[in-house]
Amino acid sequence: MTDSTRTSGPQRSEPNAGQVGETASGIAKVPFGRTGHLSTRVIFGAAGLGRASQETTDRYLELIASYGVNHIDTAADYGESELRLAPWLATHRHEVFLATKTGQRDADGARRSLERSLERLGVDSVDLIQLHNLVEDDEWELALSPGGALEGLLAAKREGLTRFVGVTGHGLRIPGMHLRSLQRYDFDSVLLPYNFALLSNADYRRDAEALLEVCAERNVAVQTIKSLARRRWPADHDGVRHSWYQPLPPGEELTRAVRFVLGNPQVFLNSSSDMGLLEMTLQAASNPWPVPSQAEMQADLESLNVAPLFDGVALERI
């Protein structure tokens, strides 16, 4: 990447009438890599539906529809999420780009996982199936070798069960692992953690920039997670936890965090598993200007005691 501000400090920008999918209001839609789909820049991350009731799920789906969100990301490992989406998909499947994930590493297991996801979702196919959190060396070698998960998913793609194949991951090592994965196979999308605190880590920033450069060259879609992460939960916190990490509180800091991510036009923001933050996220994404400055983001980091979730060892498998 020639512009180092792309990940570390997005340049301030104003909307241009000629930008793809830009409207006077609502969330912009831009090409999701090479897929041909114009996805909203906020993707509905459905992990938070894993323990939600159907009534609660339906309210959130009505909310994202009211903002025009047209891309949903779930996973086989997200509890009851796929089942909760099924009733809505029965009548709205054609309105969204639908993605799920498998944590299986062998071909047969990945194929069975995908078939189970299709059954739980109540659909004949998904738009994107992703290898979930492919970060450990042994799992990586198994999944991307003959007889591995990738082989099974490519067979499923040829049969029309999915249109595209991607790879996801968490932790400090994942940008480098994604680069390795793209050397082995030309995936259609990648997903990685992305926020100001993480990008303040020089090594992570370097690897993320290298990954984004390759993705730009190959037109690979880049999804981000943990955009609203504050830190790991304090040991003495005994209240409700809607995600495994402590998110930013509602307010201006959260709005700036959303705008910081969307200030990089290359990436998509997957919404937090804390569904209570969804509407504010959508509001911020509907008007993502101005992009906050480095000084503003640093001030938020210090005032809220924001800390990276990952240290290269702990929680890499989350």
pLDDT of the chain, 318 residues: tens digit per residue: 333 333 334 333 333 333 444 443 589 999 999 999 999 999 999 999 998 999 999 999 999 999 999 999 999 999 999 999 999 999 999 999 999 999 999 999 999 999 999 999 999 999 999 999 999 999 999 999 999 999 999 999 999 999 999 999 999 999 999 999 999 999 999 999 999 999 999 999 999 999 999 999 999 999 999 999 887 867 776 766 667 778 899 999 999 999 999 999 999 999 999 999 999 999 999 999 999 999 999 999 999 999 888 876 655 555
| CA nearest to 281, candidates 238, 243, 237 | 243
What is the chain's percent helix, strand, coil content, to nearest 5?
40, 15, 40
CA angle, corner 143, sides to 142 and 145, nearest 5? 65
Q: Write the CATH number for 163.
A: 3.20.20.100
Contact 269, 42 (CB under 8 A): yes
| 90 belongs to a structural domain | yes
Q: What is the pLDDT of residue 317?
A: 55
| 312 belongs to a structural domain | no
Per the structure block, which two tokens stand in for 113? 């996982």
**The domain containing residue 186 runs over which residues?**
36-303
| 98 belongs to a structural domain | yes
Per the structure block, which two tokens stand in for 263? 């200030």
| 24 belongs to a structural domain | no
Contact 304, 259 (CB under 8 A): no
β-bridge pairing 245-247 and 189-193: unpaired
Q: What is the pLDDT of residue 139?
A: 97
| 42 belongs to a structural domain | yes
| 22 belongs to a structural domain | no
* Phi and psi torsions of 201, nearest 5°: -80, 115
Q: How many domains would you assign to the chain?
A: 1
Q: How far apart are CA 302 and CA 286, in angstroms?
A: 27
Q: What is the pLDDT of residue 316?
A: 55
| 126 belongs to a structural domain | yes
| 71 belongs to a structural domain | yes
β-bridge pairing 38-40 and 29-31: antiparallel
Q: What is the pLDDT of residue 315?
A: 53
